[in-house]
Amino acid sequence: MKRAVLLAVAVLFQTLPLVCAEDLFEIKEVAPGVYAAIAKPQYKVNCNAAIVMLDDGLLLVDTHSKPSAARALIAQIKTVTDKPVKYVVNTHFHWDHYQGNEAYPSSWPAGVEIISSEATRENIVNRGIPRVKHEITTMPKEIEGLKAELAKATDAKRKAELEENLRQAEEYLRELKMMQVTLPTMTFDRSLILHRKSRTVEILWLGRAHTEGDVFVFLPKERVIASGDALHGWTPFMGDSYPYDWIQTLDKAERLDFAVAIGGHGDVMHGKATFELWKQYFQDLMDETAAAFAGGATLDDARRQVSAKLMAKYTGRFPDTFPKDVMANIEKAYRVVSGQTD
């Protein structure tokens, strides 16, 4: 019986996608012993990670959308240090930031603490797990759509892109079905501080933002902050957000003494200009949407009116996807100002 189980496990790992970290992440040193693993484009997106060297181990911030991505980064880490990962931080509950959790305890069975705010742990249980199950149900339809689009494609470049997307989608679904959701093992309400001889790591909940449980990982000596999706290099995603609180939370974070920010997506950020950009964007978005709603605008009316004003001001200041992304943000803002959600 034992032999049969071991054989089954061996077969299971043979079926997992083999991914090289170099294909998924670009590692950049942002301070001595502190690195940003910048995620490269994928059909099912991965988040960035922050890697912090401690005296006797490592601390990792965020674990990507799947265990295979986490294992790929682990393999790359092991080529440069034999220190074990002792701490993993989930900045919030979204799939692309915690679904790789299981890779860390399995790589270091002696013990890895997975840290989050209490709200994030609760959200993984109450929202994250149902969303995983929903995605397993809906992904086959998405895959069939890719196959249909591929069958109709005539441009060679587009066909190659669709073939790669299809491959990634099928591998992702297979991995999702096998994934063991691994919850944080250590939670806190406001702050958790690791004091080590080499450095201090402050893990801070500063208020509701992108989600209700977002945390920032701050290195005061190195003047580095990891911000998850509370701040990054793309257009903000606001689906589970608290827009008015988000402005205040960013303001609190900006008061910390840092020079480098590692966001959940996009490149490393230097200085605090992106904080100012996001705060102003949220304020303009909420003000313009509130004015449209007060004037009797329907959601469709608000989309037209508010997008025209925001596009005029922010095109070129956000990535090229901004014209599409702003529509979802206006919908969120409209639901907030009309009282449909917080």
114 with 34, same domain? yes
Is the pLDDT at 336 greater than 70, yes or no? yes
Q: What number is the average pLDDT over the span 92-117? A: 96
107 with 208, same domain? yes
Q: List C-alpha distances in Å: 241 to 57, 127, 170, 186, 247.
A: 34, 14, 30, 24, 11
Total tally of structural domains belonging to the chain: 2
Distance CA 117, CA 95 (A): 16
Is the pLDDT at 18 greater than 60, yes or no? no
Long-range contacts, 73-79 (Cβ 8 Å, 24+): 73/21, 73/24, 73/25, 73/37, 73/49, 74/103, 74/104, 74/107, 75/20, 75/21, 76/21, 76/22, 76/25, 76/27, 77/51
Task: Please list, in sequence order, all residues whose beta carbon lies within 8 angstroms of the beta carbon of residue 63, skipping any fewer than 6 positions away.
Answer: 49, 70, 88, 90, 97, 98, 99, 100, 101, 103, 104
Q: Looking at 232, 255, 271, which one is the last position of a domain?
A: 271
246 with 299, same domain? no
Q: Looking at 237, 256, 271, which one is the last position of a domain?
A: 271
What's the chain's length in residues? 342
209 with 115, same domain? yes
Is 79 part of a structural domain of the chain? yes
Is 140 part of a structural domain of the chain? no
Is the pLDDT at 9 greater than 50, yes or no? no
Q: What number is the average pLDDT over the span 23-28? A: 91
212 with 285, same domain? no
193 with 87, same domain? yes
What does the pLDDT look like over 195-240, one tens digit per residue?
A: 999 999 999 999 999 999 999 999 999 999 999 999 999 999 999 9
Say if residue 269 is exposed, middle or buried (CB neighbours under 10 Å; 0-12, 13-18, 19+): buried
Is 175 part of a structural domain of the chain? no
Cβ atoms of 208 and 246 closer than 8 Å: yes
What does the pLDDT look like over 27-54, one tens digit per residue?
A: 999 999 999 999 999 999 999 999 999 9
What does the pLDDT look like over 264-305, one tens digit per residue?
A: 999 999 999 999 999 999 999 999 999 999 999 999 999 999
191 with 294, same domain? no
Distance CA 264, CA 247 (A): 18
Average pLDDT, the chain: 93
Cβ atoms of 337 and 290 closer than 8 Å: yes
Is 96 part of a structural domain of the chain? yes
pLDDT of residue 22: 57
Cβ atoms of 230 and 248 closer than 8 Å: no
What does the pLDDT look like over 59-97, one tens digit per residue?
A: 999 999 999 999 999 998 988 899 999 999 999 999 999
Task: Specify the CATH number for the domain of residue 195.
Answer: 3.60.15.10
Q: Which domain holds residue 217?
A: 15-120+183-271
pLDDT of residue 221: 97
Write the DSSP string, 90-125.
--SS-HHHHTTTTHHHHH-TT--EEEEEHHHHHHII
